[in-house]
């Protein structure tokens, strides 16, 4: 068994883990719902990827945790922010000057990298869930639809409807008002996805090569399509976009071990 490098992304909605071998190939990966106990879920994904790889803890040469729960893991682990990790993970697939748009459960981020992969600057959403996965989850709950049903319905939309509210709560009030006026559910759902895209484009200027990552893009490709319509450029989508933060963390673990 070669030495392994672990990256864990303990996000607000989902926890992701990636295990790399000494050739930086992914040998195990997992995604589970985070719940409330970051320590427990950190342990759970660790055990899951070790099981997949047929390895145990002593094979892990270095581990890096990222995401909101990055300080809560109870095994030896370095930590790095999700900004750097998403940037690093995206750069692994697109090694050039890129702008990463990561739409996560609680944060939306725009991360600009130079041609050498260096973090040039970043923007994050304010203290507000509008434009994040949490917004989408809340809308799905209020409409009594699953996230995959949202995706299907958006594809059936016949017209563009604009939502004007900034606030998640008032957005749903607006949806109710539009529904009373006879706007079809698929059009409302597409409007919800468009609201996310609108919030993303308000965060910062999107130019050059755009890479879209995160759980929202992984489960709702409509968002990437709408983003393409908005900015006039097709965003690049890496394989397994939800795992990019964990992959970036694992790559940092690899580099940390190399430099040690």
Partner 1 sequence: MSIEPQPAFKKLESSLRLKQLMASHFYELDEAARRGSHKIAWCSSVGPAELLRSLGFLVYFPENHAALLGATRKATDYIPAANAIGYSPEICSYLTSDIGACIMGETPLSRAYPGITRVPPPDVLVYNTNQCRAVKDWFQWYSRKFRVPCLGVQSFRQMDEVTTLHVAAISTQLQQLIPPLQEISGTRFDIDRLRETIELSRQCSELWGQVLETAAHRPSPLTFFDGTIHMGPAVIARGTQSAVDYYIFLLAELRQRIEAGVAAVNHENCRIYWEGMPIWGKLRELAALFLRLKTCVVASTYCNSWIFSDLDPRDPFESMARAYTELFITRADACKERYIKQMVEFYRIDGILFHEAKTCPDNSNSLYGMPQRLYQQLGIPTVVIHGDLNDLRLFSEEQAVTRLEAFIEQVQG
80 binds partner 1 (CB under 8 A): yes
List 107, 138, 174, 240, residue binding partner 1 (CB under 8 A): 107
Residue corresponding to tokens 């709560």? 169
When the beta carbons of 77 and 163 are compared against partner 1, the nearer one is 77
Binding-site string for partner 1 from residue 142 to residue 181, where x marks contact by CB under 8 A and - marks none: ----------------------------------------
Is residue 58 classed as helix, strand or coil in its secondary structure? helix
Q: Among 5, 38, 68, 172, which residue interacts with partner 1 (rule: CB under 8 A)?
A: 68
Q: Return the DSSP state at 162.
A: -
Identify which of residues 146 and 207 has a Cβ nearer to partner 1 in the complex: 207
At CA 131, angle to CA 230 and CA 112, rounded to 5?
Answer: 65
Which CB contacts under 8 angstroms, 24+ apart, belong to 227-230? 227/101, 227/197, 227/200, 227/201, 230/197, 230/198, 230/201
Please choose, from the candidates 38, 37, 47, the residue with its C-alpha nearest in 3D space to the C-alpha of residue 9.
38
* Residue 57 engages partner 1 in binding (rule: CB under 8 A): no
CB of 23 to partner 1, least distance (A): 21
81 forms part of the interface with partner 1 (CB under 8 A): yes
The verdict on 202 binding partner 1 (CB under 8 A) reads: no
The piece of 120-128, 157-165, 167-175, 192-200 that touches partner 1 (CB under 8 A) is: 120-128
End-to-end CA distance of the chain: 21
38 is a contact residue toward partner 1 (CB under 8 A): no
Distance CA(44)–CA(24), nearest Å, equals 23
CB of 67 closer than 8 Å to CB of 243? no
Q: Please tell me whether residue 249 adopts helix, strand or coil conformation.
A: helix
Q: CA–CA separation, 101 vs 107, rounded Å? A: 11
Q: Which of 63, 101, 130, 195 binds partner 1 (CB under 8 A)?
A: 63
Q: Which of 4, 55, 77, 243 is in the footprint of partner 1 by CB under 8 A?
A: 77
Angle of the 168-180 helix axis to the 185-203 helix axis, nearest 10: 150
- Number of residues this chain uses to bind partner 1 (CB under 8 A): 20
Asked if residue 126 binds partner 1 (CB under 8 A), the reply is: yes
Residue closest to 65 by CA, chosen among 21, 103, 34, 108: 34
* Candidate ranges 13-21, 61-69, 146-154, 223-231; the one touching partner 1 (CB under 8 A): 61-69
Piece in contact with partner 1 (CB under 8 A), picked from 13-21, 22-30, 124-132, 148-156:
124-132
Binding site for partner 1 (CB under 8 A): 62-63, 68, 76-78, 80-84, 107, 118-122, 124, 126-127
């Amino acid at each position: 068994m070669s030495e392994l490098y672990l990256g864990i992304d303990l996000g607000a909605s989902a926890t992701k883990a990636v295990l790399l071998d000494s050739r930086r190939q992914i040998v195990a990966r997992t995604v589970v719902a985070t719940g409330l106990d970051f320590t427990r879920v950190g342990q759970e994904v660790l055990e899951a990827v070790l099981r997949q790889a047929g390895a145990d803890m002593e094979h892990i040469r270095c581990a890096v945790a990222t995401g909101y729960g990055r300080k809560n893991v109870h095994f030896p682990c370095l930590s790095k922010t999700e900004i750097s990790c998403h940037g690093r993970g995206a750069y692994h697939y697109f090694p050039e000057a890129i702008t990463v748009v990561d739409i996560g459960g609680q944060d939306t981020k725009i991360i600009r990298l130079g041609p050498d992969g260096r973090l040039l600057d970043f923007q994050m959403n304010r203290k507000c869930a509008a434009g994040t996965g949490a917004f989408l989850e809340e809308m799905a709950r209020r409409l009594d639809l699953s996230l995959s049903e949202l995706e299907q319905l958006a594809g059936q939309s016949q017209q563009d409807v604009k939502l004007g509210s900034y606030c998640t709560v008032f957005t749903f009030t607006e949806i109710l008002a539009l529904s009373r006026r006879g706007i079809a559910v698929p059009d409302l759902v597409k409007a919800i996805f468009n609201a996310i895209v609108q919030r993303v484009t308000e965060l910062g200027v999107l130019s050059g090569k755009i890479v879209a990552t995160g759980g929202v893009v992984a489960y709702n490709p409509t968002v990437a399509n709408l983003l393409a319509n908005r900015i006039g450029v097709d965003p690049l989508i890496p394989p397994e976009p939800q795992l990019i933060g964990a992959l970036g963390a694992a790559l940092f673990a690899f580099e940390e071990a190399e430099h040690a």
